[in-house]
Chains A and B, each alone.
Chain A
């Protein structure tokens, strides 16, 4: 399962693209990310699945496009 990583989140993940074991939902993904990258627990970011922002738990299907985005402020 590929997860695209944007912005300053790459300081934590070390890469703009992560290969992670397949999970079935955004909650499971969040838990896995927080285990692998504990710093993510305390910062603001969103999980997007197939172009939708996961405000609540969302199903992740086999070919889902998954991305992590932080807020941007620069201008």
Chain B
């Protein structure tokens, strides 16, 4: 591959860097990079990769430009509001550097289309804004051994990491946090220039990975706090727990319901069987609410529980802990009613009703 005169004129300030040279520029030109998310992180990532001369850039995003994006997503302008982000981003990159190729994917990346797309690229950058896509992408990349540059922001802080050689975000947090536990940027807010810093660090990690210059954050998680200019770098080691939490086959990966696992869709009350109840209460500590009248027998006994008769419960929901809740009654009818009403007003809680109620527990010898 030759670097022509025009390319040399464009890139010579990086080509002349010690250790960079024509060889690094050629590596960049040959590289294929997929950027997932064209938002706060995606915009600076895309601009820096295109400016540096990454030859092929894929952009995945199903969103439209909104006014609230413009305080940090500088590839977009007022005239772009309502238009697909991927189209505007590709147009801006073409203006910046017409010698590179962009491919746009104006759809939501899911576990049904991710692997086919990821295999077309050398490395992937995660600039998404939700746990559903992040965990799905982490699993997909770990499964096909595709290097993944992770970045995320919240309020005044951001994080960057490089996952490769079998490491995954699941080695940091094996399972997603519970629904509603961590707020997104819309809820928690984000400092406008912060994704610019984190996105550019991600782009930098990508450029180093391609050119093999310097040391990347492979196996490290870097956290930056903009308010007090604090950096914290942690080591990420492979963990058994992280491995166990990952799907082990393409079929398992594709059959997982990532939206449900990450609670980004409202959860509905679910009936559980006696066996599920037995395992659940033996391995975890869900709150158990017995909605029978106080005189009804037998007691739930050994299962730690609270008794709140259905009518009392419905008048004003009492505090029932922060975790999962299981409602129980004599036959499973009143508990289902309580569970459905409670779930409707607490869409991010795991709410269950014991099918068959106390009678089923008795029949199965659990009371």
Interface residues of A, Cβ cutoff 8 Å to B = 4, 6-8, 16, 39, 41-44, 46, 48, 51-53, 55, 67, 69-75
Interface residue? B55 (CB, 8 A): no
Q: B184–A73 contact, CB under 8 A?
A: yes
List, sorted by A's number, 23 A–B pairs whose CB atoms are closer than 8 Å: A4-B232, A8-B183, A42-B322, A44-B182, A48-B232, A51-B235, A52-B237, A53-B234, A55-B239, A69-B232, A71-B182, A72-B154, A72-B182, A73-B129, A73-B134, A73-B184, A74-B153, A74-B184, A75-B40, A75-B127, A75-B129, A75-B153, A75-B195
Q: A73–B131 contact, CB under 8 A?
A: yes
CB-CB < 8 A to A53: which residues of B?
Answer: 172, 234-237
User: Is chain A's binding surface mostly helix, strand, loop or mixed?
Assistant: mixed
CB-CB < 8 A to A4: which residues of B?
Answer: 230, 232
Q: How many A-B residue pairs have CB under 8 A?
A: 104
Given A6-B223, A8-B183: A73 and B234 within 8 A (CB)? Answer: no
Minimum C-beta distance from A52 to chain B (A): 6
Given A6-B225, A8-B188, A42-B323: A71 and B157 within 8 A (CB)? Answer: no
Q: What 1/0 mask marks residues of chain B from 218 to 237 whose CB sits below 8 Å from any chain A CB?
A: 00000101011010111111
Inter-chain CA distance A16–B241, complex, in Å, is 29
Q: B176–A71 contact, CB under 8 A?
A: yes
Inter-chain CA distance A41–B227, complex, in Å, is 27
CB-CB < 8 A to A74: which residues of B?
Answer: 40, 129, 152-154, 184-185, 188, 190, 195
Interface residue? B357 (CB, 8 A): no
Q: What 1/0 mask marks residues of chain B from 175 to 206 whose CB sits below 8 Å from any chain A CB?
A: 01110011111001010000100000000000
Interface residues of B, Cβ cutoff 8 Å to A = 37, 39-42, 126-131, 134, 151-155, 157-159, 172-173, 176-178, 181-185, 188, 190, 195, 223, 225, 227-228, 230, 232-237, 239, 241, 321-323
Inter-chain CA distance A68–B270, complex, in Å, is 34
Given A72-B157, A74-B185, A75-B127: A43 and B223 within 8 A (CB)? Answer: no
Minimum C-beta distance from B65 to chain A (A): 15
Inter-chain CA distance A43–B177, complex, in Å, is 7
Inter-chain CA distance A20–B152, complex, in Å, is 29
Given A16-B227, A72-B159: A44 and B177 within 8 A (CB)? Answer: yes
Shortest Cβ distance from B224 into A: residue: A6
CB-CB < 8 A to A43: which residues of B?
Answer: 177-178, 181
Inter-chain CA distance A67–B234, complex, in Å, is 10
CB-CB < 8 A to A70: which residues of B?
Answer: 177, 182
Inter-chain CA distance A33–B204, complex, in Å, is 37
CB-CB < 8 A to B225: which residues of A?
Answer: 6, 16
Minimum C-beta distance from B286 to chain A (A): 12
Inter-chain CA distance A2–B229, complex, in Å, is 17
Given A16-B227, A73-B184: A51 and B236 within 8 A (CB)? Answer: no
Shortest Cβ distance from B152 into A: residue: A72
Q: B159–A52 contact, CB under 8 A?
A: no
Identify which of A6, A41, A51, A73 contacts B157 (C-beta below 8 A): A6
Inter-chain CA distance A74–B181, complex, in Å, is 13
CB-CB < 8 A to A8: which residues of B?
Answer: 154-155, 182-183, 188
CB-CB < 8 A to B239: which residues of A?
Answer: 55
Minimum C-beta distance from A7 to chain B (A): 5
Minimum C-beta distance from B251 to chain A (A): 27
Q: A73–B181 contact, CB under 8 A?
A: no
CB-CB < 8 A to B184: which residues of A?
Answer: 73-74
Identify which of A41, A51, A67, A75 contacts B41 (C-beta below 8 A): A75
Q: B232–A67 contact, CB under 8 A?
A: yes
CB-CB < 8 A to A46: which residues of B?
Answer: 172-173
Inter-chain CA distance A7–B322, complex, in Å, is 20
Inter-chain CA distance A41–B181, complex, in Å, is 12
Q: Which are the 6 A-B pairs with shortest beta-carbon distances?
A: A42-B322, A72-B152, A75-B129, A44-B177, A74-B185, A74-B153
Minimum C-beta distance from B351 to chain A (A): 15
Which of A8, A70, A73 lies at the interface centre, i.e. has the most chain B CB atoms within 10 A of its CB? A73
